[in-house]
Amino acid sequence: MICPSDNDDERKGLPSASNWRRYELCHGSYQLEQEACRLGQEAHKASAEARSGERIHAFLAGESVELSQEEMTNAQFLEERIQDQVKRIFGDAQVLEIKEKRFWLHGR
């Protein structure tokens, strides 16, 4: 996990839904991340595979990202699967496609 600075933390210290399954399985996981950041340490250290997945995810979400040939092959495979599933579920009906939309929960 990369610890965001206070100025660029778009989540405002809230957990990411991308990690929700881990948080669900280990209730202390989020607190561990926060404490590691506070101490200047790393929790859930990133890997080359995770960074590759993040690039592919960003590319599929429509961002301008440079991919390796292997990443591009994987992205094309995933895009084909996406289109197959859209066709399977919706047939020939027109659908509004939103690549990525972030939702924020705000406490009172």
Provide the domain limits for residue 34. Answer: 6-38
How many CB atoms are located within 10 Å of the residue 59 CB?
A: 20
Domain check: are 29 and 58 in the same one? no
In a domain, 1, yes or no: no
In a domain, 105, yes or no: no
Q: Residue 5: pLDDT above 70?
A: no
In a domain, 103, yes or no: no
In a domain, 97, yes or no: no
In a domain, 83, yes or no: yes
Using a 10 angstrom Cβ sphere, with 0-12 exposed, 13-18 middle and 19 or more buried, the burial of residue 8 is: exposed
Place 21 in a pLDDT band, splitting at 50, 70 and 90. Answer: confident
Place 108 in a pLDDT band, splitting at 50, 70 and 90. Answer: low
Number of domains, the chain? 2
In a domain, 32, yes or no: yes
How much is the average pLDDT of 18-45?
83
